[in-house]
Amino acid sequence: MVFPAVAIVAIQVNSGKLFKLNSILKIMDKNILFALIAGVLIGAIVGFAFSNMQKSETEINKTAVDYSVKYINRYLLKPGVKVEVKDIKKLDVYALNVEFVSKNSTLGEDYVYITSDGKTLILNSIDITKEPKNYRTNVSADDDPYRGKEDAKVTIIEFSDYACPYCAKFEKVLSEIEKKYPDIKIVFRDFPIHGNVSIIAAKAANCANEQNRFWEYHDLLFEKQNEWIEALKNGDKQKLYLYAEELGLNLTEFKSCLNSNKYDSEIQKDYFDGLTAGVSGTPTVFLNGIKVEGLATQEALAEIIEQEAGK
């Protein structure tokens, strides 16, 4: 980018309008698409520093474009969605250092950008030399069941519901991911959103965990999802007992556990930890804190795993 001049502008906040923008011209059309796909703010411009680069303009442009595209694909779009450059046009851009003023006080300052032809106003900037502040979520694995290496370089924390059909499909995706990346760690946390049947199933899996058969029971619940849900809707827990018996569990201990309130608080803690982390539906996973919602593809997860493992 070329900055032919810098203007200092004071904008009166109490005037009722900061800018009148009916449309932010052609460049905004792409940003609207990004906003629909990724939820990013319309009007963001990607910044890049060239101060120490002794290269031709063509080389600099290619470096800037490549770096910007990588940043957008990694941080601003949902996994599995890619942006590709269709055309490149050079624009002379003015950087306006604006100060926000209300009566006699200064509220703050920022930069906005305008093209030299005065037709395109670009609000907000993104420093692509840094990871976005909210890119990762601080979410705990708590003391929940996990499989894989305890000190794995990549940890996937999954919030799921045994009664969720998409979660059952997602387990197959995770299974393939595990085969491809055996060094990862997968943590399972309960996020029951399908009523009482979800809670009872979560309790059953926790009870199976007492006898060291959590993952086997977990797999059966997803594989036989329809049959135990129908049974529980009629108040029948026999299917859950049958799965325990098939896995060789002590049935007396399992029944006693399932019919108690032993794991109510544990399941509730998982649920509220999920809400705090921004979980609103299932399945939702966090790969080293990077949130991925819904029925993600194996390819989308693999891309993040390889990025994280390569650090």
How do residues 9-30 score in pLDDT, each as one tens digit?
A: 333 333 333 333 323 333 333 4
Is the Cα torsion angle 272, 273, 278, 279 positive or negative in sign?
negative
Q: Is residue 138 part of a domain?
A: no
Count of domains forming the chain:
2
What CATH number is given to the structural domain containing 223? Answer: 3.40.30.10
Q: Is residue 1 part of a domain?
A: no
Q: How confident is the model at residue 175 (pLDDT cuts 50, 70, 90)?
A: very high
pLDDT of residue 58: 56
Q: Are residues 219 and 304 in the same domain?
A: yes
> 94: Cβ–Cβ under 8 A, 6 or more apart, which residues?
3, 4, 5, 6, 7, 113, 114, 115, 116
Q: Are residues 122 and 156 in the same domain?
A: no
Domain range spanning residue 290? 146-309
Q: Is residue 141 part of a domain?
A: no
User: What does the pLDDT look like over 292-301, one tens digit per residue?
Assistant: 999 999 999 9
pLDDT of residue 4: 35
pLDDT mean over 169-180 = 97
Q: Are residues 292 and 180 in the same domain?
A: yes
Q: Are residues 70 and 157 in the same domain?
A: no
Q: Are residues 286 and 152 in the same domain?
A: yes
pLDDT mean over 129-140 = 86
pLDDT of residue 56: 53
Residue 246 · residue 254 · CB < 8 Å: no
User: What does the pLDDT look like over 216-256, one tens digit per residue?
Assistant: 999 999 999 999 999 999 999 999 999 999 999 999 999 99
Q: How confident is the model at residue 169 (pLDDT cuts 50, 70, 90)?
A: very high
Answer whether residue 205 shows pLDDT above 60: yes
Q: Is residue 139 part of a domain?
A: no
Residue type at position 17: K
Task: Please state, as a whole number, how many other Cβ atoms lie within 10 Å of the Cβ of residue 285.
Answer: 26
Q: Is residue 132 part of a domain?
A: no
pLDDT mean over 100-116 = 87
Averaged pLDDT of the chain: 82
Q: How confident is the model at residue 60 (pLDDT cuts 50, 70, 90)?
A: low
Answer whether residue 54 shows pLDDT above 50: no
